[in-house]
Amino acid sequence: MLPTELSAVVSKISALIAESDKILVAAHLRPDGDATGSVSGLVKSLMKAGKKVDAALFDGVPERFAFVFPAIEVLRNQVIEADHDLIIILDSGDESRTGFTFNRDPQKTCLINIDHHASNTMFGDINYVDTGASSACEMVAALLHHADLPFDSEVALSLMLGLVTDSRSFQNEGIRASAHLAAAKILQTGVDTRPILNMLNSGKCEADLRVQGFGLSNFKLHCQNRLATLIIRHSDLTGLNASFANVFASGLFNQMLSISETHASVVIFEREDGMSFCEFRSRGGIDVKEVAVAMGGGGHVPASGCSRAVAVDELAREAIDRMTRQVDNFFAKQESA
């Protein structure tokens, strides 16, 4: 499961874990299935190995993913006094994406960065970054295997959540054999994957579907139908008796790519406090990460995001303009090749 060129860094991390007693594990703001799964999977394994472990998620554990999380208190204070031996940050392109400030003594507390985003800033004292990995959960599975740390069905349930959700059920373009090897390792534990399948296939609430219906009725097409865009205002959510969280749970980000002519999409939406967000998706090689990074975010070539404290319509104008140029330029190069 582990690329040869990363064996040395993973061996170093394994040795540090073995030497450490107190470890803090964190991930990015608004945790998705991969962030939640990788944190909970690593925390469970470390606890089973006898370590004292703290978990930190600034926005807490999403309700829909709570079934994988151990029954421990999750740290959410903006400033964390880190008297730990290790801090392990998962699935985050840079340290600020966690939402936390870690007050630590670098001589005592080593910061380990484990991530698969191409936009990663290599912010750790030790960086285990594998941009070819399907998910942070795939990387954690490789680490646990390499370090001979506990890997039972409870750990496996967490890791399977992130592996399935971040790979879009193994449908991402360019997915490596290592993702399937990680899945095999997970399934060998005898894990019952029904809770994940139920959550994905029949776990939506009414508000999720109302938001999905709104999106499918109000999206617009650009660039000869190659780009789909959707703006969801807070007033729209209020009218649907829905919330910001229902946008993430609706499935809209990927759904617009199911149109045969459409190769890229962006959903722009706002939170109750006025913060605005973009989620970009693509297929066929269109690089949405480039757009997200230019707008202060990050992610992967086919799936990225950004957020800003600006009005949703202002963010939408920039996002749609940048995506229109990105899609047009991509196809212009294709047609001239």
Q: Amino acid identity of 307?
A: S
Q: Amino acid identity of 284?
A: G
**Those residues with Cβ within 8 angstroms of residue 118's Cβ, 6 or more apart along the chain or in another chain:** 131, 289, 300, 301
Domain-terminating residue out of 160, 183, 201: 201
Domain identity same for 125 and 266: no
CATH number at residue 219: 3.10.310.30
Tokens 């994957």 sit on residue: 193
**Bridge-partner residues for 22, per DSSP?**
52
Domain identity same for 215 and 165: no
Closest CA to 88 of 151, 132, 33, 143: 143
Domain identity same for 79 and 193: yes
> What are 193-200's contacts with CB under 8 Å, separation 24+?
193/157, 193/160, 195/67, 195/68, 195/157, 196/157, 196/160, 196/161, 196/164, 199/64, 199/65, 199/67, 200/164, 200/165, 200/169
pTM of the model: 0.88
Give just the sign of the alpha carbon dihedral 200, 201, 203, 209.
positive
Start-to-end CA distance of the chain, whole Å, equals: 36
pLDDT digits (tens, 9 = 90+) for 150-201: 999 999 999 999 999 999 899 888 899 999 999 999 999 999 999 999 998 8
Domain-terminating residue out of 176, 201, 226: 201
Closest CA to 24 of 65, 48, 57, 71: 57
Domain identity same for 330 and 247: yes
CATH number at residue 194: 3.90.1640.10
pLDDT digits (tens, 9 = 90+) for 211-231: 999 999 999 999 999 999 999
Least confident of 16-30, 100-114, 265-279, 297-311: 297-311
Instruction: Report, as an integer, the average pLDDT of 311-319.
Output: 97
Domain identity same for 187 and 219: no
Domain identity same for 84 and 70: yes
pLDDT digits (tens, 9 = 90+) for 46-87: 999 999 999 999 999 999 999 999 999 999 999 999 999 999
Closest CA to 266 of 327, 209, 329: 327
Domain identity same for 189 and 283: no
Task: Give the count of domains, the chain.
Answer: 2
Domain identity same for 213 and 81: no
**Those residues with Cβ within 8 angstroms of residue 240's Cβ, 6 or more apart along the chain or in another chain:** 207, 210, 211, 214, 246
Domain-terminating residue out of 149, 174, 201: 201
Domain identity same for 154 and 25: yes
Domain identity same for 43 and 154: yes
Domain identity same for 210 and 196: no
Q: In Å, what is the CA distance from 228 to each residue of 3, 11, 270, 282, 333?
A: 36, 44, 18, 10, 20
Report pLDDT for 335. Answer: 87
Distance CA 123, CA 116 (A): 13
Q: Which H or E run contains 226?
A: none
Q: Which domain does 326 fall in, by range?
A: 204-336
Report pLDDT for 295. Answer: 97
Domain identity same for 217 and 119: no
